[in-house]
């Protein structure tokens, strides 16, 4: 998390911005609060894609579909303005680090019990996503947030409505959508993608959570080599606990039809009762992570609203630029530390006349 910069908005729609969370696939992401006090994440689309009608059409469709996703295991879409000069979407803020942060930096591989509950929660999230007619298509550790009461799936920015995939209208032929290392063979080959794609990605995420390593190797060998291994090679599951190996292996079958369904996955985790009502009855994380999440929650409550610029209601407000632009400098880090799964990115200017797209 970073403090707001001089050229960041202070308000987007009905939400007052508090800090920068980073950048997702479409634009800048901010921590914000509604006038009634709800904490949200607001994604502001970059100017360049916002000017393309093809993108606008896709964005409208994705927001409509994402609003239909319910359940306890995803970050809900709360609000959006797809027709604004700078389109934006607001989702419920999930107060926890990404699985990438937890495994790659804070803690390391998770114990088997934690991974079983992770598997059940992610499978339940995918059930909700698929029931809304979506395929996530980019399930990876940075799109899974870890909270005291279970995992949450975020970022449907790359998800596509199933009918869009079928008619080929908005997804260009030959376009690869996904992240190397967490793609399914059908994505690598450019074949039609369905719900079973998310099951394969789930298998890769579980292998990473349990071992700290990718089942088809790291990106240091090159994206093309990695994707060839996904399409043609066998995963390395030698470090997986015996109780997880068969489930992960089945999720990573090359043939989409041979992969288990999500209900079967939940049953095989032994955590069906744990995820049935969306609430965990017992702690599911190691004690060190529980303590870290508790400290994070306290810091989040202490976050104050920055002073905002006056302007018409419902608009994204930007402070007046200084007469002489300051020399580029990295802004001071805020005292808060909230890993979010987003990479740092530059400011998002307004898309009016003369604006320079990022």
The residues assigned a catalytic role are: 138
Separation between Cα atoms, residue 153 and residue 126, nearest integer Å:
8
DSSP 219-243: GGG-HHHHHHHHHHSPP--TTS-HH
| Residue corresponding to tokens 């032929």 | 173
Inter-residue contact 129 to 262 (CB < 8 Å): no
Number of Cβ atoms within 10 Å of the Cβ of 188 = 19
> Is 291 exposed, middle or buried, given 0-12, 13-18 or 19+ CB atoms closer than 10 A?
exposed
Closest CA to 7 of 329, 321, 331, 325: 321
Closest CA to 156 of 184, 180, 128, 181: 128
Distance (Å) of CA 154 to CA 138, 142, 254: 10, 9, 26
DSSP 300-344: HHTPPPPP-----TTS-B-PPPPSSPPPP-PPPBPS-----S-B-
Inter-residue contact 75 to 91 (CB < 8 Å): yes
Inter-residue contact 47 to 355 (CB < 8 Å): yes
Inter-residue contact 203 to 258 (CB < 8 Å): no
| Residue corresponding to tokens 């999500």 | 262
User: Bridge-partner residues for 144, per DSSP?
Assistant: 153
């Amino acid at each position: 998390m970073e403090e707001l910069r001089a050229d960041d908005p202070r308000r987007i729609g009905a939400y007052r911005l508090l800090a920068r969370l980073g950048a997702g696939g479409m634009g800048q992401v901010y921590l914000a609060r509604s006038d009634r006090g709800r904490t949200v994440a607001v994604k502001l689309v970059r100017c360049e894609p916002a000017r393309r009608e093809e993108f606008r059409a896709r964005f409208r469709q994705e927001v409509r579909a994402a609003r239909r996703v319910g359940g306890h295991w995803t970050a809900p879409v709360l609000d959006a303005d797809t027709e604004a000069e700078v389109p934006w979407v607001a989702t419920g803020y999930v107060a926890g680090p990404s699985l990438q942060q937890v495994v790659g930096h804070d803690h390391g591989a998770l114990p088997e019990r934690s991974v079983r509950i992770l598997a059940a929660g992610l499978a339940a999230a995918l059930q909700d996503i698929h029931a809304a007619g979506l395929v996530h298509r980019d399930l990876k550790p940075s799109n899974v947030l870890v909270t005291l009461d279970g995992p949450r799936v975020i970022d449907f920015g790359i998800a596509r409505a199933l009918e869009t995939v079928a008619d080929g209208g908005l997804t260009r032929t030959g376009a690869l959508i996904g992240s190397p290392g967490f793609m399914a063979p059908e994505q690598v080959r450019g074949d039609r993608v369905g719900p079973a794609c998310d099951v394969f990605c789930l298998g890769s995420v579980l292998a990473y959570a349990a071992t700290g390593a990718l089942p088809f190797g790291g990106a240091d060998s090159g994206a093309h080599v990695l994707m060839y291994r996904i399409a043609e090679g066998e995963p390395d599951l030698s470090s997986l606990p015996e109780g997880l190996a068969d489930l992960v292996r089945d999720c990573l079958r090359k043939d989409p039809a041979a992969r288990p369904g999500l209900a079967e996955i939940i049953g095989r985790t032994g955590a069906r009762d744990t995820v049935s009502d969306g609430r965990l009855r017992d702690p599911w994380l190691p004690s060190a992570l529980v303590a870290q999440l508790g400290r994070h929650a306290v810091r989040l409550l202490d976050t104050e609203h920055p002073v905002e610029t006056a302007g018409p209601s419902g608009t994204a407000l930007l402070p007046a630029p200084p007469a002489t632009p300051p020399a580029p400098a990295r802004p001071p880090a805020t005292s808060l530390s909230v890993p979010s799964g987003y990479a740092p990115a530059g400011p998002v200017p307004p898309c009016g006349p003369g604006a320079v797209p990022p």
